[in-house]
Structure formats: C-alpha cells, structure tokens
Amino acid sequence: MTSPSPFASAPSTGPVRVFLLDDHEVVRRGVRDLLEAEEDIVVVGEAADAREALARVPAVRPDVAVLDVRLGASGGDHEGVTVCRELRAELPGLACLMLTSFDDDEALFDAIMAGAAGYVLKQIGGSDLVAAVRTVATGRSLLDPRMTERVMARIRGTDAAPREAAPAELDRLSPRELEILDLIGLGLTNRQIAERLFLAEKTVKNRVSSILGKLGVGRRIQAAMIAERFREQHAHDLP
C-alpha cells in the first residue's frame, strides 16, 4: 500500500490567481505554461527579481505567489524568502509557495519563519505542483513532512541554546540597536521597523547588519531568538 502524496489536491472554489518569481525565464515560462493549462488557474503576473516582485504583486493581488528561493547568478542568498516576508507583511492573505532546486534546511527554516505556506523542490512532478498551488490557495499549509521534521529538530536544538548568553551579547549594542533588535524579535520587517521608528529603510537595513555582527550571528532569526531570551529573562526579574 503506497502512502498518500503530501501534495493532495484541495477543492477549489474559483480561479486561482498566481504570481511567479524566478530569475530564469525558461523556468518561469515552463511553470506558467503548466499552470495555465489548468482551467481553474490563471497566472496574473511574473517577475525576474525581488524588486520587480515587490512592486508588481500588490498591484495584481494574486492568491498565490510561487517564489524561487535563490535569485541572482550566485544563488547564495535566500532572497525569495525575504520577498515572502515582505509580501506577507503587506498582504497577510497571500499564500507563498517556495520553489527551489536545492534541498536546503537553512532555506526551509527561513521560509517557515517568513510565513511561507509551502516549500517544494523544482524536481516535483507537474501534477504535484499544480495540486500544491491549489492547496495553498485554500489557506492550508503544505510542507513535505520529511522536510518539516528536519526543521522542527533544528528549532528544538536552537531553543536549547544557553539562556545566559543574551545579556553579555546585548551589552555590545547601542540603545537604538537594542530598540531595533526588540522589534526584530517581534517579527517586524525592515520596512515595518523603519515606519515604527521614523527611519529610512536603508538605515534600518544597515543597523540590522551591525546588530548581527555585534551579536556574532549570521541570520535574523538567531538575533530574534536572542531578543526573546532577553525579554523573557527581564520578565522573570520583575517584582
């Protein structure tokens, strides 16, 4: 007896509006042709880079954004995950389906923390990709159980980090950096932090880079966890 596919199709109530982000035109064209062959799916827009996607998606209001995790020639950064985080901050109802050529725990971890509804490899079969789009369009989460288990194991390992580490690390930060770190811990994007503190978004981006360097961490989620440990400790210290 075979196990059910994790990409089981969900009932659709109407045409699913999809936006595509991938820096390879051939990939975009292939995914577009695949999806538009379905009567209940329409591709309403596409982009080749993050800036294009952030400008176009709010204008066309898709139900699902299919986002390539790695953009650019090097593919070193998870820029598609950043696009997911920014779009979800502006359009909370948008379902982001992350698409990548790499079986990458780091990217999967970041995608889950950014609020992605699903994460699939480009090696996925065409019918499974169509079903995945339909599924996340209904508001359901779609993550391969094997991938999710690896991420859950990683989160448990991260949560086991020493609680005593936070105060010494935070001594290196200025009052303004502590303020920004606290907002990172609350899950705010650079744009939201800039609006909250009346700063330029570029200024916030530079401050975040400085914070990560001073804390000795490479990723935003690690800084957020340090902020959360510090916040919890101060809550326990209150009379």
Q: Name the more confident of 145 and 212.
A: 212
SS (H, E, C) the chain: CCCCCCCCCCCCCCCEEEEEECCCHHHHHHHHHHHHCCCCEEEEEEECCHHHHHHHHHHHCCCEEEEECCCCCCCCCCHHHHHHHHHHHHCCCCEEEEEECCCCHHHHHHHHHCCCCEEEECCCCHHHHHHHHHHHHCCCCEECHHHHHHHHHHHHHHHCCCCCHHHHHHCCCCHHHHHHHHHHHCCCCHHHHHHHHCCCHHHHHHHHHHHHHHHCCCCHHHHHHHHHHHHHHHHHHCC
How large a percentage of the chain has pLDDT more than 90?
Answer: 26
As a whole number, mean pLDDT of residues 62-79 equals 77
pLDDT band at 238 (very low <50, low <70, confident <90, very high): very low
Confidence (pLDDT) at 2: 37
**pLDDT at position 10 over 60:** no
pLDDT in tens, 117-175: 888 888 888 889 999 999 999 888 776 556 556 665 655 555 444 444 445 667 788 88
Using alpha carbons, select from 138, 122, 158 the residue that is nearest to residue 30: 122
More confident residue, 132 or 75: 132
Per-residue pLDDT, 63? 95
Global pTM reads 0.62
First to last CA, the chain: 59
Share of the chain above pLDDT 70, in %: 74
Are residues 136 and 64 in contact, defined by beta-carbon separation less than 8 angstroms? Answer: yes
Residue 154: its pLDDT value, please?
A: 57
pLDDT of 234 > 80? The answer is: no
Which among 103, 107, 97 has a CA at the least distance from the CA of 7? 97
Most confident segment among 31-45, 132-146, 156-170, 180-194: 31-45
- And the tokens for 229? 């440990």
